[in-house]
Amino acid sequence: MEKSHFEQAKLWLEGAKYIANYNSEEKYKYVVAVAMAIHAIIKANDALTFKFTGNTARRHDDARRLFEDLIKKNFVKAKYAAYKQIIQDAINDKAKAEYRAAFFSKNDFEVIKRKAEKFIEMVEEILIFKK
């Protein structure tokens, strides 16, 4: 099941990249792309928490706490502790992107995209899906 969560995370991110690069001047495309990248981070975290605890966050706000629990239980190496901030940043931006119609620029998308790529790479390394 964790592989399913992980594959979905990658698809959310690929979708975000597609939307951000869509040949349109529509300024709202970055709001959608940011929201999708956020979902990629949360879904990748779900892959980790499901692998090691058998559950996922019921609310997005629980994602950071669950990640911190994985570190405390040594399922995730302490060297990745700072990645909890990636989750927190995603959660903070989620409501802005989905409910408050905040403006996100191309640069904002690039920042969250890099964070999502970094987080997904870390998850892949931990779950050993790399070939």
> Looking at residue 131, what is its pLDDT?
42
What's the rounded Cα separation, in Å, for the pair 109 and 36? 10
**Average pLDDT of 92-112?**
88
Q: Contact at 8 Å (CB) between 31 and 102? A: yes
> Looking at residue 80, what is its pLDDT?
97
Q: Contact at 8 Å (CB) between 52 and 66? A: no
Digit-coded pLDDT (tens) for 32-87 = 999 999 999 999 999 999 999 999 999 888 999 999 999 999 999 999 999 999 99
What's the rounded Cα separation, in Å, for the pair 38 and 52? 22
> Looking at residue 81, what is its pLDDT?
97
**Average pLDDT of 6-29?**
92
Total domain count, the chain = 1
Q: pTM value? A: 0.92
Matching residue, tokens 């980790």: 48
Residue 74 maps to which CATH number?
1.20.120.330
> Looking at residue 128, what is its pLDDT?
81
Query: Who wins on pLDDT, 129 or 93?
Result: 93
Residue 130 in this model has a pLDDT that exceeds 90: no
Longest dimension (CA), the chain: 47
Q: Contact at 8 Å (CB) between 67 and 48? A: yes
Determine the structural domain holding residue 118 and report its residue range: 2-127
